[in-house]
Amino acid sequence: MTTNDDNIIIENVIAGDANAFAVLVERYKDLVFTLALRMLKNKEEAEEVSQDAFIKVYKSLKKFKGDSKFSTWIYRVTYNTCLDRLKKNKRQQNTVAIDEFTEHHIKTLDNALESMEREEKKGAIKRCLELLPSEDSFLMTLYYFEEQSLDDISKITGLTANNVKVKLFRSRKKLGSIFMQQLEPEIIEVYGKALK
């Protein structure tokens, strides 16, 4: 999937081919839903926000100038739609104490996690990501799972690249703390020596 391919489809939609938009929806629907779910922590709300995001994208497709990749733009629309929903719900997000966690422990934990089976690691990370506050989960998903650059995440969120970097570091610390609380006791026991 290339940016050029997206641009051709966008031109077709703007020219009146409403069916061409279905191609974009099909291409990005899973990612938009995943990002919304990370932010909202609720399947039904994530589905609604995903639909809202695609409606917004469709209505403002003519405003897309192509300065950034279409994927970056659609992530930004999704992010802003999620923020609007969170503000509307005025929901309090759980926070995790990170004071007791040092950078050394996080690096050691990363090394221990590398030793696990790939799918087991992915599953553990995804379960733990769901316990992070919305914005942290969103940023971690973009950076680690979607492999977006700091600059792309900056464009999506409206934060400076440096601010994104700081937030990612703090999110990793929170995630490390969650790992310590959530991972199976026997996994902790196996890797206990490395964590000391």
Q: Where are the alpha helices (DSSP H) in the chain?
A: 3-14, 20-40, 43-59, 70-89, 103-114, 118-129, 134-140, 150-157, 161-182, 185-195
pTM of the model: 0.58
Q: What is the structure's pLDDT at 19?
A: 87
Nearest by Cα to 67 from 3, 9, 13: 3
Domain ranges of the chain: 3-89, 103-195
Determine contact, residues 133/105, Cβ cutoff 8 Å. no
The domain made up of 3-89 is a member of CATH 1.10.3730.10? no
Q: Considering the domain 103-195 in this protein, what is its CATH number?
A: 1.10.10.10
Low-confidence ranges of the chain (pLDDT < 70): 1-3, 90-125, 182-196
Q: What is the structure's pLDDT at 184?
A: 56
Q: What is the structure's pLDDT at 121?
A: 60
Q: What is the structure's pLDDT at 194?
A: 44
